[in-house]
Structure 1
Amino acid sequence: MSNFIKIFKVLGDETRLRLVNLFLQADEGLCVCEIGDALELPQYQISRHLTILENAGMLQTTRIGTWIYHRIDWESSPFLSDLFKMLSKHIAEVFTEDTKKLKQRLALREEGKCVVGFIPKEELKQLIKNKKEGKL
């Protein structure tokens, strides 16, 4: 199967499109817990979809301590780079709630790094509220 067809098959899944949206909206790599909180999906589902995106050459990963950060691989191919540029202009308007949740979650970072990990949804809401109110 040509790489061209493989890429569109990979992007034919809504969850993977939502993931690509998050990566395109973020200026930095994202860890699985940040993605899971933004999309409200369990870690195992996020990991499965990340593996598919990585195998298609769309992502690169970086390990910092115990955290693994994923980001768009803009250098993997000219075709993917052009596709990501086109998507970045249009995809955010489709997944606005995901983008909003991601921005709230990224606001909890310290020195640009995830420090929260996986926590229950109600605790996360309280952390975000406290951060907004300057209580952290």
Structure 2
Amino acid sequence: MKPNLQNSLNTFKALSEVTRLKIIWLLINMDSKICVSEIIEVLNEPQYNVSRHLRILKKADIIDESKEGKWVYYFIKSTDSEFMSHIKNAVSTISEKDMTIEIERCKQRLLERDS
């Protein structure tokens, strides 16, 4: 199913900000759901900024959330949309070199979660 023009516009607007783009990149490339506190630590952003960015991404229908105990985890929304498949492919091709610090922080944080 093809999105209408407004949905496409909302997606591109949501991805036009660097913090939101980094959040999506991490969710796609780290292959893990991530909670707000982990995103705060990985991106070194204040909680209110991260929460605002997650709301925008959720409103654009790019991410979803699941509550597990006291934690809310965010993940890329699964869809059979060809449009979103192209978006995910485009975002995932952003160079890891541009995300080196964030990747290391995220790997460390995910290891701490598992222990």
Per the shorter chain, which TM-score range?
A: 0.7 to 0.9
Q: Is the alpha carbon distance of 1:76 and 1:6 closer, same or farther for their aligned partners in structure 2, counting shifts above 3 Å?
A: farther
For residues 79 and 92 of structure 1, what CA distance do their matches in structure 2 show?
23
Deviation digits for residues 71-102 of structure 1 (CA, Å, limit 9, x no counterpart): 01131632112210222122433222111111
Which of the numbers 34, 40, 53 marks the counterpart of 2:38? Answer: 34
For residues 39 and 106 of structure 1, what CA distance do their matches in structure 2 show?
14
**Alignment length, in residue pairs?**
111
Q: Which runs of 5+ in 2 are unaligned?
A: none
Partner-residue secondary structure (3-state), 1:60: strand
Partner-residue secondary structure (3-state), 1:104: helix
The corresponding residue for 1:19 is: 23
Higher relative contact order (CA 8 A, sep 6+): 2
The corresponding residue for 2:12 is: 8
For residues 75 and 114 of structure 2, what CA distance do their matches in structure 1 show?
19
The corresponding residue for 1:102 is: 106
Partner-residue secondary structure (3-state), 1:41: coil
Identity over aligned residues, as a percent?
Answer: 34
Pairs within 5 Å for 1:1-136: 2-75=6-79, 77-110=81-114
Q: Is the alpha carbon distance of 1:55 and 1:21 closer, same or farther for their aligned partners in structure 2, counting shifts above 3 Å?
A: same
Partner-residue secondary structure (3-state), 1:83: helix
Quote the RMSD (CA, aligned, Å).
Answer: 1.6
Q: Which runs of 5+ in 1 are unaligned?
A: 112-136
Partner-residue secondary structure (3-state), 2:11: helix
Partner-residue secondary structure (3-state), 2:112: coil
Q: TM-score under structure 2 normalisation?
A: 0.87
Structure 1 contact 11–17 (Cα < 8 Å) conserved? yes
Offset, 1:7: 1.2
For residues 86 and 45 of structure 1, what CA distance do their matches in structure 2 show?
24
Partner letter of residue 10 of structure 1? A
More helix by share: 2
